[in-house]
Structure 1
Amino acid sequence: MVLRRALYESWQMECCGRTFSVGDEVTWQVMPMESDDMRTWGWDEEEYAGLLRVEHHSDGWPTATGRVRAIHLVHQEYAETAPGSRSFTPVPGRRTLEPVDSCPKWFGCGEPADGPGPRRRRNTDGVLVTLDVTDLPEAVPGRGHRRQPSVTSAMPAAPPREPRDRRRGRRGQ
């Protein structure tokens, strides 16, 4: 068995996910977190090398089966891009991980706080899950980016994806 981390984004859980707890066995369709997405999310590519992303909306990705060993809520602070724009962007270095026993079905978007400078809010963007993997075909490379250490060309390639807006599907925007 191998420990792997997977990001389960809030919109994926709210749309099509089933809640789970530490100790549960889960099977998810997963894809590798690509370099551009790692930078967008602010994940350190060395510390989080091999990070997977749970995917419910694309076909062709392998499934991972494993026992949940840890769950952390991913909280991110956002700043308004321009006064009154109602558009927010992640604030670098302002992400925290909160250990929990169970994954919630619904996640919160914080209310913008007024004060000097751009308005800010704190959202819960999903969960970072540590899995003790019992079954994981090698990950599929994505869109021609640097291959993760566990990549093989034996898996079928998924169709190309359009660039994502992480905020898509969020309530309250």
Structure 2
Amino acid sequence: MTVTIWVDGWQMQCCGESFGPGDLVSWSLVEATPEDHADFLGDERAGAIDFREEHHGPEEHPPPSRLRVLTVTEVHCRYELPAGSTSNRYCPVPGSAELVPVEGAADGWAKARPDVDFVSYLVTAERCR
């Protein structure tokens, strides 16, 4: 069974282990909802994400799942202050996502791209027994 997983860049930068296509990984997976990622990817693409990898969140972590990584894609997007905002909280700009396939290892440090910031990885993987 193939699944699509959101892996936050900041979690990888903090204490993640690099991975790439063909690697076996053991990750705690939490079900994703489209609302979790729609600001970055839009509703349709966000709806295709099954799980998010989690090792920092407040919720109880499920037992790790063994997976074989099939593909890895970087997610980059632009941030700006929303029009009329009275706070200084920058938000993702809808429709600004750029997806970049990863050939080698994903280590949390993506090559800088003009006008967008690295956010996460989208990983397709298959469950292993």
1:114-140 Cα distance to aligned partner (Å, 9 max, x none): xxxxxxx410101101101125xxxxx
Name the Cα RMSD after superposition: 2.8
State the TM-score, normalizing by the size of structure 1.
0.61
In structure 1, the residue matched to 2:99 is 97
In structure 1, the residue matched to 2:70 is 69
- Amino-acid identity (%): 31
User: Secondary structure, in 3 states, of the residue corresponding to 1:4?
Assistant: strand
- Read off the aligned partner of 1:72 and give its amino acid letter: T
In structure 2, the residue matched to 1:27 is 26
1:139-166 Cα distance to aligned partner (Å, 9 max, x none): xxxxxxxxxxxxxxxxxxxxxxxxxxxx
- Paired with 1:88 and 1:49, the residues of 2 have a C-alpha distance of 25
In structure 2, the residue matched to 1:158 is none
Could you list the structure 1 runs, at least 4 aligned residues long, displaced by more than 4 angstroms after superposition: 107-111
More helix by share: 2
Structure 2: give runs of 5+ residues left out of the alignment: none
Question: Using CA pairs below 8 Å that are at least 6 residues apart, which structure has the higher relative contact order?
Answer: 2
In structure 1, the residue matched to 2:80 is 79
Taking a change above 3 Å as real, the CA distance of residues 33 and 24 of structure 1, as seen in their structure-2 partners, is same
Structure 1: give runs of 5+ residues left out of the alignment: 112-120, 136-173
1:32-69 Cα distance to aligned partner (Å, 9 max, x none): 11243133333435774352100011433242211111
Contact kept in structure 2, 1:31 and 1:62, CA below 8 Å: no
